[in-house]
Amino acid sequence: MIGFMIGLFVGAFIGVCVMCLCNAAAKADEQMKDNIDDKT
């Protein structure tokens, strides 16, 4: 039972990390498209 709880928390933590990374990547892509002329 303890192993199940640990696996549940680890899985949720990994899921949150993946969502944050995907969200950050999407926002970074949008910013790069918008400010492609400003960056040198």
| Tens-digit pLDDT profile for residues 1-40 | 999 999 999 999 999 999 999 998 888 888 887 777 666 5
Domain annotation covers residue 40: no
Short-list 27, 28, 23, CA closest to 39: 28
Domain annotation covers residue 14: yes
* 22 vs 15: CA distance, rounded Å: 11
Tell me, yes or no, if the pTM score tops 0.85.
Answer: no
Give the number of domains in the chain.
1
Domain annotation covers residue 39: no
**Tokens 């928390």, residue?**
9
* 3 vs 16: CA distance, rounded Å: 20
Q: 1: domain range?
A: 1-33
Q: What residue type is assigned to position 19 of the chain?
A: M
The continuous run of DSSP H or E covering 13 comes out as helix 2-34
Domain annotation covers residue 20: yes
* 40 vs 30: CA distance, rounded Å: 17
